[in-house]
Structure 1
Amino acid sequence: MSFGVDVRGLQVPDDVRGTLTGDDVAARLARKDATLWGPDAESEAAVRLGWLDLPSSSRSLVAQLAELRAQLQDEGLDRIVLCGMGGSSLAPEVICRTAGVPLVVLDTTDPGQVAAAMTDLDRTVVVVSSKSGGTVETDSQRRAFQAAFAEAGLDEKETGRRFVVVTDPGSPLSETAADMGARAVFLADPTVGGRYSALSAFGLVPSALAGADVGALLDEAEELAEHLAEPGNPAFELGAVLGAAAVQGRDKLALADAPAGSGTAIEGFGDWAEQLIAESTGKEGRGILPVVLESPTAPGAVAADTVLAVVGAGSPDAEPSLGVTGPLGAQFLGWEYATAVAGRVLGINPFDQPNVTESKENTNAILDSGLPDEPPLATIGAIELRGSGGVLDGVDLSSHDGVALGLDALLAAVPEHGYLAVMAYLDRLADASAGNLRSALAARSGRAVTFGWGPRFLHSTGQYHKGGPQQGAYLQITAEIGTDLPVPDRPFTFGGLQAAQAAGDRKALADRGRPLLHLHLTDRAAGIGQLLAALA
């Protein structure tokens, strides 16, 4: 078996292991026993375990997708843009990065990033991917691309054939796809939740059209699937270790790809695993917080409340740590299975997401009523400062060091076993240097620090922020928009939607009394530079 787990410095207590073994959890999960997580979770679990069948049930897609890709190539359509959020975009991004094939992933409402994706339209096909069919970001992106194709001179029929749709049966998007004459519509298995959908049509369709070998992914997963009923299989061990470590106080999971040349080459796996773990376990005041690292030695890899997991190679020298070996297809299935086992240990339902809709509802209310009036407490250089939860109480914002003092106050508000979440509503391509804030803040604070691009993280760690342990402090970064972009046939722009999403999430955190520092950049490049300088 190519999938394996190398555990260093961690033990599963006898009582936890005895319960898991005595309850025959490995075999019951493999045969899709929905009673594993208790009576309150049974109805949800009964319709959310289809992911266990995907290594075999997705086989029929391989030939279909190869034929569709060949058609597109013959027509000179070789640029694939994926419009999707969360489970609809994260797996294809990892698959294509690992395979070294180009895929434009559009999982944002930032108007600059959306506009940058609408280039080279003469060779572009757009995959619109949404399980519910009503995701506001994805619907807005689809509308923008339809308008762009029309402006480029394509008629209605030609425009429709530039779209491939992935959704659940009966969703509003399936009806839209028929109305617009989409070239192809792939209806996914409705018994597979979004974050468990890597090996379904959501993961495979855009990846195959971009040129990745999805048949090989299924082969890799199937090799592991044959062993999942066995007691003590490596995916079971991974889940037992993660769950037990969290119960014992190591509830932060630092995730890093193996360094180049040291194991299986997998790129960006943590971004996918982050949603799977955070959204599956972060609820009822419990959970495992994934912290995606730049490397296995980055700040935050080692701490008293943290387990380091290196994906694609054996365990590093650090303790406690995990080395999770195996190719990408096996990693997808193995981590899904492990997360379900960890959910059993934690005593939560790993298939619901009870707090995800809160920020969405806040966003819709703000789109209807307008942005709240929140004058800045101070403007220093290219940064406006605002705060809630008492984070700026007593801070001298008249000082030229006001930004550094505000950041210090926020770091001081992180509880002893808490975390800091950086939430950047920016262009993750043009403003990529903002990502350096994570390691700088982790090095300065010694605390767990996560980094998420908004609104992407709302479909990922957003559930953990609201439903997990209330030990977080939050740094939200927004920015002025250069050129806004309309959303066709909607009463808002992309910039307006982005601002409403940020404000809606601020409200959700403020309602919980969490410390939040909101920094608005009046000049993006200058503001990011000013922030990094304040942390130097």
Structure 2
Amino acid sequence: MTSVVTAGGISVTIRGPVVDASETVLERLVTDGVPGSLASRSPKLWGPDAAPLAARRLGWLDLPRTSRSLAERLAARAAEARERGLDRVVLATAGGAALAAEAMYRSASRSAGTPAELVVLDTTDPHEVSGVLAGDLHRTVVVVADGGAEAESLRRVFGRAFAEAGLDEAESARRFVVVAEEDSALARDAREAGHLFVPAEPDVDGRFGALGARALVAAALAGVGVEALLDDASRLTAALRQPYDNPALALGAVLAASAAGGRDKLVIADHGSGLDGFAAWAEQLVGGALGKDGKGLLPVVVEGVDAPGFELTPDLRRVILGRRPDEPGPGREAGVSVAGPLGAQFLLWEYAAAVAARVLSVDPFDEPDVAQSEASTAALLRSEEGTAPTVVRRPPELVSGAVEVHAAAEGALRNAQTLTEALEAVLESVPEGGYLAVLAYLDRAGDAAAARLRPLLAERAAKVRRHPAPVTFGWGPRYLHTVGQYHKGGPGNGAFLQITGDVARDVAVPGRPYSLGELQLAQAYGDLRVVRSLGRPAFRVHLRDRAEGLAQLTGALT
């Protein structure tokens, strides 16, 4: 059985038993008048407790229209910047805005190219930041979108770097573009410092704001065709009021039916969509919007339809990005395939996540568990003036070459004598029906080999476990703002493998009593504390030498 819903340039194809389950949910949504209520920005859709916050978070529905004037202003700013030789844009932010801007830039670069470079820095890793600082600062403009520990620290670091590169105070100030809400402390600081200020929408957050200022400013300055993205989203807008022939409503029904029906792992594979980086943005949206109150869908982004972990199991719902309904090829029997342009895809998934949240009775805009890790990090920084407390520096359970393996309690590694045995013990700790999250507090560029651990661990899980366990991968601290909410607030069936590494070259944070390396370690320890306090199996692998340690981990799994 196959159902195809097409409108506004988007095609959602649903195959197999999921058709009946999703149509039952769809009929309920139509009967309840959800399409009209959501299109009219009703804050009551998620219950009375959620209504006050929802009333301040539904502006994303209007962004295809309201961002038009911003796009025009940004086009002029981008042209002016390039005339001044500023063709390197660094985006310092975290969460959905960073991932949306990165997807826009990567997709545009793949198709037609852009006149400027965009570097997304949503990290505190000193190696990664040092690599960006080593670029040509005389060509660089820094966009700071909202506050947070990462963005604020990077703003200070780049301010010092501009001064050391010989830029005077006025020119250094002009190299920053700050995107924030009008009455925020960051907006006041930006104006006092002489930075260019762009107001962020007060009724849009970063998770649902892919087409808002927080993401669009950096993308536009890098030369991405923002107006084309808004055009694509606008073509879908009319369909969002419809009870039928509404692909966003259909996708929302699939997400809700999957979570409610026991298929609570959403495995996402790209298959020629041309939308580089979009799956990572969808991951943060689905995980953060739905993962709370012990409910949700775990997004599992895999490398392709042939990747380990894409195999069909009873608790997985598979989504392919890019395949047309009539295309043959591997993975065609997957439950859902979604095709369409990037701007429309952003709006499609935001709408679908909001709809699924209503069915699951969760508030899509609240992030109650994200704050736990932030508070834990802040406590560590206060307690040790920026360094991690010595209480967590217990001896490792296993040392193998450049790799240390730490567990929360003695015996958790089941007396493993080798690195392979230790990793298998980690996999065996995953609860039945659960998942393993690999969380790498490393350099996305210099330590890119860490991402190879996801498919290797997924393959090993299929061999050592009676029932394979999905394996996810996230860079720290990026994941704290993406699926970190799900890790703490979703179903309590996760196990966690955190990876940290020695810092060879640290970066001081001006005006703060800690360095980037110390902040990064506090973020890692802070989140580990919270996860362990919830009773989740959690392990930490520390690399005394990053390259050698990653090679050892890879070798232990092959």
**1:393 to partner: Cα distance:** 2.9
**1:380 is matched by which residue type in structure 2?**
S
Q: Which whole-Å deviations, capped at 9, do the CAs of 1:472-527 have from their partners, x for residues lacking one?
A: 00000001000111000100000000010010011001101111111100010111
What is residue 4 of structure 2 aligned with on the other side? Answer: none
Instruction: Tell me the number of residue pairs that the alignment of Structure 1 and Structure 2 aligns.
Output: 524
What is residue 138 of structure 2 aligned with on the other side? Answer: 122
Counterpart CA distance in 1 for 2:200 and 2:96 is 13
Counterpart CA distance in 2 for 1:507 and 1:12 is 42
What is residue 307 of structure 1 aligned with on the other side? Answer: 317
Alignment of 1:227 with 2:239, yes or no, is yes
**1:389 to partner: Cα distance:** 6.1
What is residue 396 of structure 1 aligned with on the other side? Answer: 415
The answer to whether the 8 A contact 2:377-2:522 is kept is yes
What is residue 158 of structure 1 aligned with on the other side? Answer: 171
What is residue 137 of structure 1 aligned with on the other side? Answer: 150
Alignment of 1:362 with 2:376, yes or no, is yes
1:269-288, aligned counterparts within 5 Å?
269-288=278-297
User: 3-state SS of the aligned residue for 1:226?
Assistant: helix
Q: Which whole-Å deviations, capped at 9, do the CAs of 1:290-316 have from their partners, x for residues lacking one?
A: 111111221111222111111222366
Alignment of 1:435 with 2:443, yes or no, is no
The answer to whether the 8 A contact 1:389-1:515 is kept is no
Counterpart CA distance in 2 for 1:437 and 1:425 is 14
**1:276 to partner: Cα distance:** 0.6
Alignment of 1:380 with 2:394, yes or no, is no
What is residue 352 of structure 1 aligned with on the other side? Answer: 366
Counterpart CA distance in 2 for 1:473 and 1:6 is 33
Greater CA drift, 307-316 or 522-531: 307-316
The answer to whether the 8 A contact 2:407-2:413 is kept is no
**2:122 is matched by which residue type in structure 1?**
D
Q: Which whole-Å deviations, capped at 9, do the CAs of 1:423-461 have from their partners, x for residues lacking one?
A: 000001100000000111111212111100000000011
**1:318 to partner: Cα distance:** 4.3
Counterpart CA distance in 2 for 1:384 and 1:166 is 41
1:240-319, aligned counterparts within 5 Å?
240-259=253-272, 264-302=273-311, 303-314=313-324, 317-319=331-333
1:176-255, aligned counterparts within 5 Å?
176-182=189-195, 184-232=196-244, 233-255=246-268
1:14-53, aligned counterparts within 5 Å?
15-53=24-62
What is residue 410 of structure 1 aligned with on the other side? Answer: 426
**1:2 is matched by which residue type in structure 2?**
G
The answer to whether the 8 A contact 1:425-1:479 is kept is yes
What is residue 321 of structure 1 aligned with on the other side? Answer: 335
Counterpart CA distance in 2 for 1:137 and 1:422 is 21
**1:18 to partner: Cα distance:** 3.2
**1:521 is matched by which residue type in structure 2?**
L
Runs of 5+ consecutive residues of structure 1 not aligned to the other structure = none
**1:8 to partner: Cα distance:** 1.2
Q: Which whole-Å deviations, capped at 9, do the CAs of 1:63-90 have from their partners, x for residues lacking one?
A: 1111101111111111111111112311
User: 3-state SS of the aligned residue for 1:300?
Assistant: coil
Could you tell me which of 3, 7, 15 is aligned with 1:8?
Answer: 15
**1:110 to partner: Cα distance:** 0.5
TM-score, normalising length from structure 2?
Answer: 0.92
**1:502 is matched by which residue type in structure 2?**
A
The answer to whether the 8 A contact 2:178-2:198 is kept is yes
What is residue 460 of structure 1 aligned with on the other side? Answer: 482
What is residue 554 of structure 2 aligned with on the other side? Answer: 532
**2:389 is matched by which residue type in structure 1?**
P
Counterpart CA distance in 2 for 1:485 and 1:157 is 24
TM-score, normalising length from structure 1?
Answer: 0.96
Greater CA drift, 110-119 or 208-217: 110-119
User: 3-state SS of the aligned residue for 1:518?
Assistant: strand
Q: Which whole-Å deviations, capped at 9, do the CAs of 1:260-286 have from their partners, x for residues lacking one?
A: xxxx41111111011111010000000
The answer to whether the 8 A contact 2:413-2:426 is kept is no
Could you tell me which of 180, 188, 207 is aligned with 1:175?
Answer: 188
Could you tell me which of 308, 311, 336 is aligned with 2:350?
Answer: 336
The answer to whether the 8 A contact 1:258-1:296 is kept is yes
**1:156 to partner: Cα distance:** 1.0
Q: Which whole-Å deviations, capped at 9, do the CAs of 1:86-122 have from their partners, x for residues lacking one?
A: 1231100000000003311111000011111112011
Counterpart CA distance in 1 for 2:550 and 2:24 is 49
Q: Which whole-Å deviations, capped at 9, do the CAs of 1:237-279 have from their partners, x for residues lacking one?
A: 00001110111111111112223xxxx4111111101111101
**1:204 to partner: Cα distance:** 1.0
Considering only aligned residues, what root-mean-square deviation do their CA atoms show, in Å? 1.3
User: 3-state SS of the aligned residue for 2:43?
Assistant: coil
Counterpart CA distance in 1 for 2:251 and 2:170 is 50
What is residue 494 of structure 1 aligned with on the other side? Answer: 516
**1:372 to partner: Cα distance:** 3.1
Counterpart CA distance in 2 for 1:191 and 1:394 is 47
**1:394 to partner: Cα distance:** 6.0
The answer to whether the 8 A contact 1:300-1:442 is kept is yes
Counterpart CA distance in 1 for 2:80 and 2:257 is 50
The answer to whether the 8 A contact 2:295-2:490 is kept is yes
**1:26 to partner: Cα distance:** 1.1
Counterpart CA distance in 2 for 1:270 and 1:220 is 18
Report percent identity of matched pairs: 50
